[in-house]
Structure 1
Amino acid sequence: MRLASYTSVLLAARAVVSQPTGGHSDAVSLNIPKTASGASIEHDPSFASFSFEPAFWVEFFGNSSSPNQLAFNLLNRIVDHGGQPTIRPGGITMDSMIFDPAGADPVRTTNPKGGVYRTTVGPAYYESWSNFPEGTKFVSTLNFGNNSLDIARDMAVASVEYASNDSISFFELGNEPTNYPSSRWKNSTAAYVQQWKNWTNQIDAAVNRTLGNDSAAEFGSERWWASSATTDKSGLEVRPAALIPAGINSDDQVADYSIHSYPFSTCDPARAVLATTQNILNQTELARYADEEIYPSAKAALDAGNRWIIGEFNSISCSGNPNVSDTFAQALWVIQSELIYAARNASAVYLHQGAALVFQSSQQVNSAGQDGSPGYSTYDMFYPRNSEKRGPARVLPSFSSQLFMAEAFAIQDTRIRQVGTPSGVDKDYFAAYAFYVKNKLNKLAIINSKPYYANSTSDFTVTLDISKYGHSKKGTRAWLKRLTAPHVDEGSANKTTFAGQSFPQGNATGDLDVESVGRDGIIKVRGSEAVLVFFDKRDANMNAC
């Protein structure tokens, strides 16, 4: 079903200006509208979702008979905290996947340095999806890169035949066609659209025959992601702003327009020097990137009455930057970025996880292990297996940001708006967002991303007064959960806490600490911290574990 145009919603949801407060000499107030008028579209608990590079599926998740317990501990914690992420087994290696009906678990064909030529999957790959938390939905990703309709169609049919019942929400044909050889479509948007529509129509027919009439009708015709393009400049224009006028949805097949987002990169030395903690946490620059590189295509989708999503994203392309994306800085970046896109009416965001892809760049900072084993991406939220490159399997500090986001959108139909930065607060490293449920203020997220190190001369604490909000006649105005670590460059999940708890193996360690906001309404947020404020105590306690 098509959506109403949301352009006017975004225009009305400009940040609301905040003012200093007179009640506390060091406190500033936030000017928060008490109703959702002008806020974003309605979001659901699947807003914060995931993309996993399929060539490394077994490393991350094991198989149907021997699942990777660490991975499922983490996913179960996210669900416990209110999230319901959709899983996209996607990325560059989906464009060299094939289905073998006689095959079993996914098998990579590689060179000695770990370069992936092909990933072959059998029925067990799709059957392993049943290991995921109950209700998990999947994107069935199809190989467009090998330019074989038979390969793509066979994968689609296999997915609906072998995956657990009703687990597939969408199909996606190809990953980042902007990176395909220019000879494929000779930089013609029309040629790309023609082939995409021809293939998707034939795949739909084959899938419908497999499902049967009733199930096919229930699935509906709008089952495809379209575009899946990067923001990189290339000769082929296949972002939504180009695809929509070219008629890609003339047959009403498109469910979501997908855009990929990587604001920084270590694919080459020139860009690697910019992929620093200071830069990835700069709120102003992250918002500028979203508005200039992403939003024009998002607006085209919204104007056409369709949803748009960030179908794959992370902080630093080519597998992150060691000592930046594997630290607590990544946790703050995840929250900043996901809330930026939520406020701009993205229906979902898919945080990418994987390992270094040798063929992606000959100049990249990251690599596979010396023995060709996976060099897990430093932007991952966990390293799924012991490895020569990354050491022991373990959780990374950024995982706790997923619990923060799960609770932020735990209530169905939550709407969000950014709140203006108070005067005197560094707007480059501060952001606040208000959340609404049934037209009432429900939560508040505050991110103070100013990098705080052990040798910092200040802790950059921002003191906020929210006494105008919450419970005016009670001793407690609100409740909050704090995401924190000793410093921004903390690399241990053991020292990273959300509401007082760490999750080094996916299970909570330590006592739950839900802080009370007193009658004075004062909240202090140190540099390199984020807090989630609840105006309903039941919401603060609903996901305690």
Structure 2
Amino acid sequence: MPTSPSNRRSLLPTSLLLLLPFLLFLSAPTPSAAQVTVYGQIPLAQTISIDPSATDAPVDVQPVPTLAAYDETLLTPPPIPNPPPATAYTLELQREAANVNGLSIPHVGGGFFGYSVEMSVINQVMGKNSSFIQVPFLNLMANIEERAGSVLIRLGGNTQEYATMVDELPNGNALAKEDSGTKATTETPAVLYTKDLFYIAGNISTMVNVKWFVGIPFNDSANWRLAIAENAQEVLGDNLLAMQAGNEPDLYARHEKRPSDYTFYDYFGEVGDLIQHIDANDRIPVKNNLLAPSLATGDWNPEDIWNIGFLEAYIDRLWAITMEHYPTNNCFAQFGVGSPQDPQTNFPSYLTHNAGIELIRIYLNTSRIAAEAGKPFIMFETNTASCGGFPGISDSYGAALWALDYGMQMAYSNFTYAMLHVGGQNVYYNPFTAPPTNQTAFNQWTVGAVYYSTLIMAELFGKSNTSRIVDLWGNAGNVYTPSYAVYENDVLSKVALFNYVDDPTGGSDLTVGISVPGAGVPNTIRVKYLEASSVSVKTNITWAGQTFGNKYEVDGRLRGELNVTTIQCDRVANVCQVPVKAPGFALVFMEDDEAISIGQATQTFATTARTRSHNTATVDQQVLATSNGHSGKDRALNGIGSTSVGSVSAATRLRLLQGGVLTVVVGMVGVFVLIMR
């Protein structure tokens, strides 16, 4: 089996790495140098410039605009609706699924929400190369795996279309960017990558059960670049689920990626041509795992594709039917294209049950078609707004409520999965963000509000592969207080309760009665709450009393004590009364469930470094020689213990796909040196 190129430089000892920032400061240039830029923490994400030759001159402060991912904008919460929703209502629920109309198809694992990682930022989010994996990323994925059994990640986006494989890149990088020449709204860079990109993904899958989607470059259908398909299948094996054939083809003409007269007929033909090239390529053994048509539902509708016989022609080649859609865009602010959008004006539209309903309405026919064809139906890329999202909305507690409601509405409408998009530091909507490269020496990661939504959705559906969901339309159908029920193994399992109203007085807090016919309520129920002080805040968000921390504080592990509320039910009145704050979200467990006791994942990848022997992991070269990335889940490596002192051992899961040292644990008191080589 192939291994990635052995052109890595040796790692510096950890003790030296930890001292590097200080050594660099002490060895600052002589007065002949102009300035040294120091990246300080006041304010965060800004810089000051200091002239080292000036002994008593005041510091020359030159602020740089705050990056979008760390934007401090706080919006004003919408007023209390007029008329306000009733503050008390009762849900009459059936215990048996057979008595419930409108239940979704069973949800099949993976946590429902996965992540769509823009190809150009893979090195920031996942790791510089296959021997250098980002520890906070592993911890965040482990938390989803603990709840859902696996995590789904798509590597791609607009930048996949111009991706080109090269033999090697400077400084051991697996990925780099250059100008693609496109001047469309996305200003898509060309991504250069090496085969090591797939070893990054493969090594992650040896530690956390991550399954992958990749995208075949589609910018030049006259000269197909199939290296992504060849190498992803070779290296990832069973951990590769499927490959995308075209990303938002209905926007190709508008974004000048195709002639202005490009139509869905042209896309139909290009997919057929791609299939012919795949069939003729012996290095692509799996030939029926494509994803299409991945429309943005911008210039075409799904029915435009279905009406020309696309599915009839290609259904046997598709792993899933895919779409990509955002509720709106912020492209004018980013690129000067389209209409200006005011975040404050848009904010209320996210804080209503109608938001998700309107987003998926156009896909209801397609979800039916997919179910009848026996194919998964995936919202392959989505988030709060395209072109990076909105300041004050995309990273707010309100966005977490929106994503939860949207996700549940998609699941109720028979979507199989949905992928929340992840960009770089220049977007507002990230579920998680690595610190800027120039701040990795003193800042940790940032978790966005919508990551909590992905965590909760993983708990909602669990691992049984039997969970079905129904929209209850409780409280007389009030759009500010939606509710859902989940049935697992055909029995009422969980109830999800929302309160979009922002009212610090407590006057809009809800009390929701849950009743089950035949004196069916249990003696007690357990409740987990997603809490924050307002829909507009970005900090101090907690799930069941735990938090990942605020901006620049995150190592991917939950902090604080798990707090699950126990509520005594009135068996005589046959009702359980559940309080929900304004704003708030409650996940009610109607029976025993392993998710009740899940807080921080049992497997962690700690970020406290002591000595090199404690923060690196080596691999048996004999194991490496027979590794192909998908057969060693239950193999133990001799001589490898825990990846950090005091943490749960990952020895039975750590099987590297590339030789040398895999660095997964570094840092002390908030100092990260994960990308220093």
Q: TM-score range by the shorter chain?
A: 0.7 to 0.9
The amino acid of 1:36's aligned partner reads: A
Separation in 2, partners of 1:26, 1:353: 37
Aligned counterpart for 1:227 among listed residues 274, 293, 307: 293
Distance apart, 1:68 and its partner CA: 1.3
Query: Is residue 89–residue 474 contact of structure 2 (8 Å, CA) maintained in 1?
Result: no
Query: Is residue 88–residue 139 contact of structure 1 (8 Å, CA) maintained in 2?
Result: yes
Q: Which residue of 1 aligns with 2:619?
A: none
Query: Is residue 93–residue 514 contact of structure 2 (8 Å, CA) maintained in 1?
Result: no
Query: Is residue 60–residue 385 contact of structure 1 (8 Å, CA) maintained in 2?
Result: no
Distance apart, 1:86 and its partner CA: 1.0
Aligned counterpart for 1:415 among listed residues 446, 455, 468: 468
Q: Which residue of 1 aligns with 2:157?
A: 91
Separation in 2, partners of 1:393, 1:447: 29
* Aligned ranges 1:59-74 → 2 under 5 Å: 59-62=124-127, 63-74=129-140
Distance apart, 1:115 and its partner CA: 5.2
The amino acid of 1:202's aligned partner reads: H
2:587 equivalent to 1:532: yes
Q: Which residue of 2 aligns with 1:283?
A: 353
Distance apart, 1:384 and its partner CA: 1.1
Separation in 2, partners of 1:111, 1:199: 22
2:273 equivalent to 1:198: yes
Distance apart, 1:457 and its partner CA: 5.0
Aligned counterpart for 2:420 among listed residues 346, 351, 367: 351
Q: 1:195 to 1:111 in 2, by over 3 A?
A: closer
Q: Deviations over 1:318-365 (max 9, x none)?
A: 11111111111121111011001000000111111113xxxxxxxxxx
2:541 equivalent to 1:496: yes
Q: 1:54 to 1:434 in 2, by over 3 A?
A: same
Q: Which residue of 2 aligns with 1:245?
A: 307
> Per the alignment, in what secondary structure is the counterpart of residue 276 of structure 1?
helix
Query: Is residue 315–residue 379 contact of structure 1 (8 Å, CA) maintained in 2?
Result: yes
Q: 1:501 to 1:280 in 2, by over 3 A?
A: same
Separation in 2, partners of 1:434, 1:144: 41
The amino acid of 2:277's aligned partner reads: Q
Q: Deviations over 1:281-311 (max 9, x none)?
A: 22123312321x3334334434555332111
Q: Which residue of 2 aligns with 1:515?
A: 565
Separation in 2, partners of 1:29, 1:54: 47
2:512 equivalent to 1:464: yes
Q: Deviations over 1:413-460 (max 9, x none)?
A: 21111112223x7x22221111111211111111212234xxx55552
The amino acid of 1:42's aligned partner reads: P
Distance apart, 1:155 and its partner CA: 1.7
Q: Which residue of 2 aligns with 1:446?
A: 497
Query: Is residue 290–residue 319 contact of structure 2 (8 Å, CA) maintained in 1?
Result: yes
Distance apart, 1:110 and its partner CA: 4.3
2:405 equivalent to 1:340: no
Q: Which residue of 1 aligns with 2:5?
A: none
Q: Which residue of 2 aligns with 1:487?
A: 534
Query: Is residue 224–residue 274 contact of structure 2 (8 Å, CA) maintained in 1?
Result: no
Aligned counterpart for 2:483 among listed residues 432, 435, 442: 432
Query: Is residue 81–residue 544 contact of structure 1 (8 Å, CA) maintained in 2?
Result: no
Distance apart, 1:316 and its partner CA: 1.2
Q: Which residue of 2 aligns with 1:362?
A: none
Distance apart, 1:387 and its partner CA: 6.0
So what's the TM-score if we normalise by structure 1?
0.81
Q: 1:472 to 1:194 in 2, by over 3 A?
A: closer
Q: Deviations over 1:83-109 (max 9, x none)?
A: 522110121111111112445501111
Separation in 2, partners of 1:83, 1:471: 34
Q: 1:518 to 1:381 in 2, by over 3 A?
A: same
Q: 1:470 to 1:58 in 2, by over 3 A?
A: farther
Q: 1:74 to 1:204 in 2, by over 3 A?
A: farther
Separation in 1, partners of 2:159, 2:437: 20
Q: Which residue of 2 aligns with 1:361?
A: none
> Per the alignment, in what secondary structure is the counterpart of residue 294 of structure 2?
strand
Q: Which residue of 2 aligns with 1:43?
A: 107
* Aligned ranges 1:375-394 → 2 under 5 Å: 375=426, 377-386=427-436, 393-394=445-446
Separation in 1, partners of 2:509, 2:156: 40
Aligned counterpart for 1:186 among listed residues 243, 253, 261: 261
Query: Is residue 102–residue 122 contact of structure 1 (8 Å, CA) maintained in 2?
Result: yes
The amino acid of 1:93's aligned partner reads: T
Separation in 2, partners of 1:111, 1:143: 13
Q: 1:325 to 1:389 in 2, by over 3 A?
A: farther
Query: Is residue 467–residue 522 contact of structure 1 (8 Å, CA) maintained in 2?
Result: no
> Per the alignment, in what secondary structure is the counterpart of residue 421 of structure 2?
strand
Distance apart, 1:27 and its partner CA: 3.2
Q: 1:338 to 1:83 in 2, by over 3 A?
A: farther
2:330 equivalent to 1:266: yes
Q: 1:196 to 1:78 in 2, by over 3 A?
A: same
Q: 1:90 to 1:343 in 2, by over 3 A?
A: same
Separation in 2, partners of 1:271, 1:457: 34
Query: Is residue 48–residue 83 contact of structure 1 (8 Å, CA) maintained in 2?
Result: no
Distance apart, 1:466 and its partner CA: 1.1
Separation in 2, partners of 1:317, 1:305: 30
Aligned counterpart for 1:314 among listed residues 376, 380, 383: 383
> Per the alignment, in what secondary structure is the counterpart of residue 455 of structure 2?
helix
Q: Deviations over 1:378-400 (max 9, x none)?
A: 11012212368998632223322
Q: 1:298 to 1:170 in 2, by over 3 A?
A: same
Aligned residues: 478
Query: Is residue 96–residue 492 contact of structure 2 (8 Å, CA) maintained in 1?
Result: yes
Q: 1:337 to 1:154 in 2, by over 3 A?
A: same
Q: Which residue of 1 aligns with 2:573?
A: none
The amino acid of 2:579's aligned partner reads: K
Separation in 1, partners of 2:527, 2:564: 6
Query: Is residue 589–residue 596 contact of structure 2 (8 Å, CA) maintained in 1?
Result: no
Q: 1:267 to 1:34 in 2, by over 3 A?
A: same
Q: Deviations over 1:36-64 (max 9, x none)?
A: 24411110221221101000100111132
The amino acid of 1:244's aligned partner reads: W
Separation in 2, partners of 1:169, 1:323: 35
5+ residue gaps, structure 2: 1-85, 334-338, 571-575, 601-677
The amino acid of 2:191's aligned partner reads: T
Separation in 1, partners of 2:141, 2:124: 15
Query: Is residue 400–residue 498 contact of structure 1 (8 Å, CA) maintained in 2?
Result: yes
> Per the alignment, in what secondary structure is the counterpart of residue 487 of structure 1?
coil
Separation in 2, partners of 1:434, 1:499: 19
Separation in 2, partners of 1:297, 1:273: 32
Separation in 2, partners of 1:290, 1:316: 15
Q: 1:320 to 1:342 in 2, by over 3 A?
A: same
Query: Is residue 94–residue 516 contact of structure 2 (8 Å, CA) maintained in 1?
Result: no
2:448 equivalent to 1:396: yes
CA RMSD in angstroms comes to: 2.8
Query: Is residue 386–residue 393 contact of structure 1 (8 Å, CA) maintained in 2?
Result: no
Separation in 2, partners of 1:35, 1:473: 13
Separation in 2, partners of 1:510, 1:70: 17
Separation in 1, partners of 2:499, 2:288: 40
Q: 1:447 to 1:97 in 2, by over 3 A?
A: same
Distance apart, 1:190 and its partner CA: 2.1
Separation in 1, partners of 2:417, 2:518: 29
